[in-house]
Amino acid sequence: MSKLKIEKGASRVRRVPLKTTIDGAVADDIELMCQWSENETSYVVNQLLRFALEQSEDFQEYKQSHGGHLPTTEDRKNFVPASAALKPESGSAKARETAQ
Compare 91 and 46 and report the one with higher pLDDT: 46
- Is residue 64 in a domain? no
- Is residue 61 in a domain? no
Q: Which residues contact 48 (CB under 8 A, 6 or more apart)?
A: 4, 30
Q: What pTM, to 2 d.p., does this model score?
A: 0.54
> 30-58: b or e for each residue (b if 16 or more CB lie within 10 Å)?
eeebbeebebbeebbbbbbeeeeeeeeee
Average pLDDT value for residue range 39-62: 89
Task: Report CA-CA distances (Å) from 23 to 20, 27, 30, 78, 84.
Answer: 10, 6, 11, 31, 30
- Is residue 50 in a domain? yes
Domain encompassing residue 47: 14-55
Q: Same domain for 74 and 97?
A: yes
- Is residue 27 in a domain? yes
What domain count does the chain have? 2
- Is residue 39 in a domain? yes
Write out pLDDT tens, residues 57-84: 888 888 888 876 666 666 556 666 555 5
* Sign of the alpha-carbon torsion through 50, 74, 69, 20: negative
